[in-house]
Amino acid sequence: MSKTIIFTDGSSRGNPGPGGWGAIVSYAEGSEDRVRELGGRDTNTTNNRMELTAVIEAIDFAASKGLVKDVVLYTDSEYVKKGATEWIHGWKRNDWKTSAKGEVLNRDLWERLSELLPKVSIEFKVIKGHSGVSGNERCDVIATTFADGAPDVLFDNVVEKYKINLDVGNHASVSKDTKSKSSSKKAYSYVSMIDGVVKTHKTWAECEARVRGKSNARYKKSFSKENEDEIIKNLAQR
- Per-residue pLDDT 10s for the chain (238 aa) are 579 999 999 999 988 999 999 999 999 999 999 999 999 999 999 999 999 999 999 999 999 999 999 999 999 999 999 999 999 999 999 999 988 888 999 999 999 999 999 999 999 999 988 788 999 999 999 999 999 999 999 999 999 999 999 988 766 653 333 333 344 567 888 888 887 788 999 888 888 889 887 767 788 888 888 788 778 777 766 6
Q: Answer yes or no: 152 catalytic.
A: no
In what helix (H) or strand (E) does residue 11 lie, and over which residues does it extend? strand 4-12
Is 140 known to be catalytic?
yes
Q: One of 76, 135, 201, 228 is an active-site residue; which one? A: 76
Q: Residue 91: what are its φ and ψ, rounded to 5°?
A: -60, -45
- Fold annotation for 4-173: Nucleotidyltransferase; domain 5 (3.30.420)
Q: Which of 30, 130, 167, 213 is catalytic?
A: 130
Of 171, 214, 218, nearest to 199 (Cα)? 218
Q: Is 123 a catalytic residue?
A: no
Query: Which of 37, 140, 201, 228 is the catalytic position?
Result: 140
Q: Is 70 noted as a catalytic residue in this protein?
A: no
Give me the catalytic one of 9, 37, 57, 228: 9
CATH 3.30.420.10 boundaries in the chain? 4-173
Q: Looking at 37, 42, 51, 57, which residue is catalytic? A: 51
Helix 134-147 to helix 47-64 angle, to the nearest 10 degrees? 110
